[in-house]
Amino acid sequence: MSGSATLGLRAAGVCVAVTALALAVSQFVPETAGRAQRLAVHAGALALAGAVFWFFTRRLSRSLAEVIAVARAIGSGDYRRRLHLSPGGEFAELAEAVNHMARGIEANISTITDQKTQLQAILDGMREAVLVLDAAGRVRSANPALGRIAPTVGSPLGRRPIEVIASPELQMTCDRLLADGAGPVEGSGAVTLETQLGPGRFYEVSLVRLGIGGTPAEAGVVMVFHDVSETRQLSRVRRDFAANVTHELRTPLTSIKGYAETVLAAAPELAPEKRRFLDVILKNANHMSKMVDDILNLARMEDGQGASPDARAEAGAALADAIRECEPQGQARRLVLDRQLPEGGVAVACDSGQLTQVWRNLLENAIRFGPEGSRIAMTAETDPVRGVATFAVLDQGPGIPPEERQRVFERFYRVERHRSKTPGSTGLGLAIVKHIVERHGGRVWVERGRGEMSGAAFHFSLPLARTADPAAPVAETATEARLATPAQSS
């Protein structure tokens, strides 16, 4: 039974008891008693009833006053206050409910305080600077690392980001994130940009919007500054070293190739053993020359400032150019090329020459690892809603183990168990593919093939060109081009 119902029953019981007592007292007055005596008896009964009511209401008022006082104390932040009422009293259940509420609030506040202390300790110990903005775009909090990268006069709290860090791009990004506190921003509300703060100091800034899906008052932005100056410096040194070394190697390699070719052509009467030695020299010189060219191409691409926004290429035409360049390798191994691209073409936002290089590197990889006489498939799918085209090169080779699928895109990395069986690989082809695709806003990955194409399945995606027709159907063809061996074509 609830506390209010119990209190009401008790009050009704007291009223009934007092009324019954008053009536019972009047029955004991003798009939011979005078009017004055009767009035005195009734007055005494009423006085007794009044005393009982006074005692009862005083007890209730004291209990109620204590409940009010404790509730106000809890509301003011004194979560350790408790109600101490007699067990079985009118407000016993209410007191227990208030005490339970106070214990729960105290536990929650303690947990929040501990978490806040831990978070503050983490922020204070971070090497990365952290800025937190409120819904108005003002700095709400910052950690001490901010002072090391952007010294300010006084506290940064309450200032706009551009007043703390002189970067208009950073300020505009914060304004864009806060412009619509409840709407989506680039899908996840996260943005990454790179900015220079001082000579030779570069920072990668990660911005995450707070309160996604909430009210505008709950919006905010968290900025984390990652110092990438040393990484950029090391990357630049590595690129310069690679470019300088490979440039110096080109002249002696050209001389070696030239002399070997000249001797082979000018001395047909050479002994077979000597001719074999010269063939080995020429073969390895060509391999080294290709590696030098790949390193130089990769260095040039890394020094670029990004893809042109007007770049446009037709994927089918780029694939056709790549097939023509890979034809001698395919003929030597009697491979079947299954070209499954849309007849209407797929226009993507990519440099045409670099897209051809992507296709060529992936085809060379498939030709190198695919079994002799096997099939290689090239496919394409478009997603007009997302504005992305996804391409794939599938082979029937041994595939790539799951633990090595990320590393195959690293420079000079080759799957160990195939190294001795695949001469001619520089270990840079897939790294170049990854760099070109990501430079144009796409991504590249590899997985296990399915069905008949059970080898490696290399996929890469690129943004569709702006003028591409999003309603164009993806009608795949299965035109097979068999590359005959020289003996078969003769």
Q: What is the pLDDT of residue 319?
A: 92
pLDDT digits (tens, 9 = 90+) for 26-40: 666 666 666 777 677
State the average pLDDT over residues 359-372: 90
**Homologous superfamily of the 126-227 domain (CATH):** PAS domain (3.30.450.20)
pLDDT in tens, 58-68: 767 777 787 78
Q: Each residue of 262-298: pLDDT tens digit?
A: 888 887 777 888 888 888 888 888 878 887 887 777 7
Reported for 404-412, long-range contacts at CB under 8 A and 24+ positions apart, including other chains, are 405/445, 405/446, 405/447, 408/446, 409/433, 409/434, 409/444, 411/298
pLDDT at 460: 95
* Mean pLDDT, the chain, whole residue set: 78
Poorest-pLDDT segment among 284-293, 321-330, 361-370: 284-293
How would residue 363 be classed by pLDDT, with cut points 50, 70 and 90? Answer: very high
Q: Residue 29: which residues within 8 A CB-CB, separation 6 or more? A: 37, 38, 41
pLDDT band at 321 (very low <50, low <70, confident <90, very high): very high
Fold of 313-489: Heat Shock Protein 90 (3.30.565)
In angstroms, the CA 46 to CA 228 distance is: 91
Residue 9 clears pLDDT 70, i.e. is over it: no
Q: What is the pTM of this model?
A: 0.55
* pLDDT value of position 199: 82
- How far apart CA 162 and CA 159 sit, in angstroms, is 8
| pLDDT computed for residue 416 by the predictor | 57
Kindly tell me if the per-residue pLDDT of 195 is higher than 70: yes
Tell me what pLDDT residue 88 has: 59
Q: Which residue has the higher pLDDT, 449 or 35?
A: 449
- Say if residues 326 and 367 touch (Cβ distance below 8 Å): yes
Looking only at the bridges linking them, the beta strands covering 139-142 and 129-133 are antiparallel
Q: Where are the domains of the chain?
A: 3-106, 126-227, 233-303, 313-489
Structure confidence at residue 22 as a pLDDT band (50, 70, 90): low
Q: What is the pLDDT of residues 376-422, one digit of tens each?
A: 999 999 998 899 999 999 998 888 888 888 888 888 777 755 444 45
